[in-house]
Amino acid sequence: MEQTIRAQTTLPPKIGFAEKWRRRLFGNLRDGILTMILIAAVLGLGSVAINWLVINAVAPWSTADLCREATGACWPFLVEKHRLILFGTYPWEQQWRPFMASLILLIGVGVSMVPHWQDKRLIWVWLGLAVTFTVLMRGGVGGLEYVQPERWNGLPVLLMLAIFGLVFAFPLGLFLALARHQDKLPALRAIAVLWIELVRGVPMIMVLFLGLFVLPLMMPDDIKLNPLITTMIALVIFHSAYFAESIRGGLQTVPLGQYEAADSQGLSWFQKTRLIILPQALRIAMPGILNTVLGAYKDTSLVVIIGIHDIMATAKMSFSDPVWQRYGLEAYLFVGGWFLATCWCLSSYSRWLERRTS
């Protein structure tokens, strides 16, 4: 009897690191064949990429004339055009201003990710950031030269539309989700349902065109909206619908007993929602919310279709010069590297936040 119990409680032997990966990659004939095919493909593509990026490439410190004979990347192109890609047609001698404005927005995003700052202070932080960003980019005060919004290009435009669009879209989406989830005000619920389903039923580019061309026609004659402002309003309207559905999914998963327990304590609807329901719903909806943030950040580059010069438009602008027309791939690799780095940071933060909230 003791031997039987000892045999049942004996733990299986530990598998070494090498043996574990051997079983994963070469556990059977099919897995082994697929693994070898994948290794061959990675090695082949990797060798081509290394040859183009490094071995046959022209070093950044070399002269641009060497690019004509090279079979690899022309990195002197980025040395010559990186400021145009980042800041577009903003006055050359004033480009420290869009640099500082972009840096301030990135610092604001970093501060917002710190749990210690995730309270009411963030409202004042973002109000101050919005004013500082506008003053730096526009000028006209404090001795800064005035720069027309039409010359705001590149990275600051991307960050402005993406960050401020999400900052305003999330609370609007939260309101729409709560309005659709409740049933005591059927008129408000109907408006929320119409908003969400209508926006989610059309492509983003259509919403951008409506914001750019239709919204100004609806305004009084004495009010002229800047294209950047109308584009941001369109992005807020579009992303709020997706935030609303992600949050509503979390609201629907909160057990009914939580609502009944809150009602039994005599809490008002606002107290019940703020203290009990929303914290649970947002924790459950966190993966969907962060996925919407990532998608919204990348989709902001679609504004190039309606003539807004974000970093994708300035990248195309950089190789429109006849001397540099062959080097569009280098420009788009530069932009792709920026998106890859920032999206990786957002993805890492989302995984950390999910572990923390769970």
Fold of 81-357: MetI-like fold (1.10.3720)
| Residues 154 and 310 sit within 8 Å (Cβ to Cβ) | yes
- How far apart are the C-alpha atoms of 80 and 83, rounded to whole Å? 8
| Residues 314 and 86 sit within 8 Å (Cβ to Cβ) | yes
Helix or strand or coil: residue 58? strand
Q: Is the pLDDT of residue 133 over 80?
A: yes
Neighbours of 346 (CB within 10 A): 17
Q: Which of 69, 44, 42 is nearest to 56 (CA)?
A: 69
Q: What is the mean pLDDT of residues 148-153?
A: 87
Give the tens place of pLDDT for each residue, 22-50: 777 777 888 788 888 988 999 989 888 88
Give the tens place of pLDDT for each residue, 336-351: 999 999 999 988 888 8
pLDDT at site 339:
92
pLDDT at site 9:
52
DSSP of 124-180 = HHHHHHHHHHHHHHH--STTPPP--GGG--BHHHHHIIIIIHHHHHHHHHHHHHHHH
DSSP state of 53: I
- Tracing tokens 């005060």 back to the chain, one arrives at 141
Q: What is the mean pLDDT of residues 72-95?
A: 89
Tell me how long the chain is.
358
Please report, for the chain, the start and end positions of each structural domain, with discontinuous segments joined by +.
81-357
- How far apart are the C-alpha atoms of 280 and 212, rounded to whole Å? 38
| Residues 315 and 336 sit within 8 Å (Cβ to Cβ) | no
pLDDT grade for 52, boundaries at 50, 70 and 90: confident
- The answer to which of 16-25, 183-192, 233-242, 259-268 has the lowest mean pLDDT is 16-25
pLDDT at site 59:
85
DSSP state of 101: H
